[in-house]
Amino acid sequence: MNEKKWIRREFIRSLLLFILAFSCIYSVLGLLIYGIVRTNLYASVDKILLADQGTAYAALMMEDRGFEIAEPESGDIATDQAELIGDFPEINPRVLYIARDVNGSPLLYSDINGDLYGDLYKGFTFNSAELDTLYFMTLDGRYHYRAINRMIEKDHEQKEYLQILINVDAEDEILRNVVTGLSVALGAAVFLSAGVGWLLSRRILKPVTEAYQKQTEFVQNASHELRTPLTIIRTTQELLLSDPESRIIDKFEAVNRTIDEARRLTKMTEDLILLATTDTGQTPLQKETVCLEQLLGSVGEAYSEIASLENKSMTMDFRFKGSIEADPDKLRQLAVILLDNSFKYTEPGDSIAMSTEERDGKVVLRISDTGIGISDEDMRHVFERFYRADKARSRQTGGSGLGLAIAESIVLLHDGSIQMRHHTPKGVEVIVRLPA
């Protein structure tokens, strides 16, 4: 139950992190898009205000009053009024002009905008200290304008002002539509990121979950396997202590049983340490040039003698005569594990065969037998730790279910592959492929 809670908690945590990450990315992109659209929209308006010929036009219309437009320090006046004399400038219909006196009060000139807008102009605010600077203005809380103020001088003594404005309600509406579209897109993106995050979280947590489950199973199986010999040793020692007057010769079988279980416990501990170091990548390989025929032949000869004693037949066919770069001790251990496994699951009259060949740039080692075989279901798990197809038989033969797992780790350390398949007419065949 704790395992499921932990997995569920990590899944939810990963999902929320994915949603948060995607939402932040989409939000930043949305802000960038909004900023670009807003900048481009108001840039066109600002260009009209800064380069508007109406400034010079207004000055020409007021020449009869002796006023002239003062050049701003920034030099942003687009057209010098002197260049416009004799070439009457065209007025942009979007632009509003308000001439103001020294106190900032509107001076209505029909030649500029007409008296029809007199009431409207009274609603615009004006600050004479804010000159040649672009700013926003709101009229009646509903209409939005972009504006700039210019100063007009008369004989370099009397000052009047010209306020130039452009209504930006259309630009604001475009921006509102952009915000609405981006908000909808953000909602859809969050929903999409939730689905993607769910898939990615499952994919990421899958190997973690499998590793966690394997670790739990490994600890449980190891505890079970270690408990059996420890129980036998403890029980036997207690029986020996119950009869302290007896001689060792009289308790020979009990002592021998204790030694066997201690030896089995030691072997299992060594196997567990080997597998643990292999998992962490800390198993060193002492590679050297190995004559595979000679190494396998020496191992096979020992098992040939065992085969004769058990009324079994064993054949060896080494077609690969070359050498490979490998750890000889590990290869010898690999051959012993595979042959030992074949002998455990064969009966008198069965045969075991070991052969080598070179194929597709790989050295192929085959060890087959005509034993009891294995089911398809069990074959899918044979390389798992502590897995035994016939648990009762394995206990009788002293197996712990670690042999084939160690064999696989040795092969993988040599960048090879190992597989088990059914052998014709019966039994199994183990195929190991190593780099040539």
Between 94 and 74, whose confidence is greater? 94
At residue 313 the predicted structure's pLDDT band, cuts being 50, 70 and 90, is very high
Say what the pLDDT of residue 10 is.
76
> Cβ of 398: how many Cβ atoms within 10 Å?
13
How many Å apart are CA 323 and CA 428, to the nearest integer? 27
Which of 25-29, 139-143, 150-154: highest mean pLDDT? 25-29
- Structure tokens given for 17: 């992190």
Whether the predicted pLDDT of 71 surpasses 90: no
How many Å apart are CA 340 and CA 334, to the nearest integer? 10
Whether the predicted pLDDT of 165 surpasses 90: no
Q: Give the pTM.
A: 0.49
Whether the predicted pLDDT of 84 surpasses 50: no
At residue 23 the predicted structure's pLDDT band, cuts being 50, 70 and 90, is confident
Say what the pLDDT of residue 399 is.
58
Judge whether 420 and 436 are in contact, CB under 8 Å.
no
Among residues 383, 388, 432, the alpha carbon closest in space to that of 406 is found at 383
Query: pLDDT per residue over 345-358, tens digit each?
Result: 899 999 999 999 99
Between 155 and 148, whose confidence is greater? 148
Please identify which residue in the block is written with the tokens 């005569």: 321
Query: pLDDT per residue over 40-66, tens digit each?
Result: 888 888 888 887 544 554 554 454 444
Query: pLDDT per residue over 246-278, tens digit each?
Result: 777 777 777 787 887 787 777 777 777 777 676
Whether the predicted pLDDT of 131 surpasses 90: no
Mean pLDDT of 407-421: 90
Mean pLDDT of 2-20: 77
Say what the pLDDT of residue 280 is.
61
Catalogue all structural domains in the chain, each as residue range(s) with its CATH number: 51-167 (3.30.450), 208-279 (1.10.287.130), 288-435 (3.30.565.10)
Judge whether 225 and 268 are in contact, CB under 8 Å.
yes
Average pLDDT taken over every residue of the chain: 77
Whether the predicted pLDDT of 86 surpasses 60: no
How many Å apart are CA 18 and CA 29, to the nearest integer? 17
Whether the predicted pLDDT of 9 surpasses 90: no
Give the SS3 label for residue 162.
Answer: strand
Judge whether 164 and 54 are in contact, CB under 8 Å.
yes
How many Å apart are CA 97 and CA 111, to the nearest integer? 11
Whether the predicted pLDDT of 75 surpasses 60: no
Among residues 167, 169, 121, 129, the alpha carbon closest in space to that of 149 is found at 129
Judge whether 378 and 362 are in contact, CB under 8 Å.
no
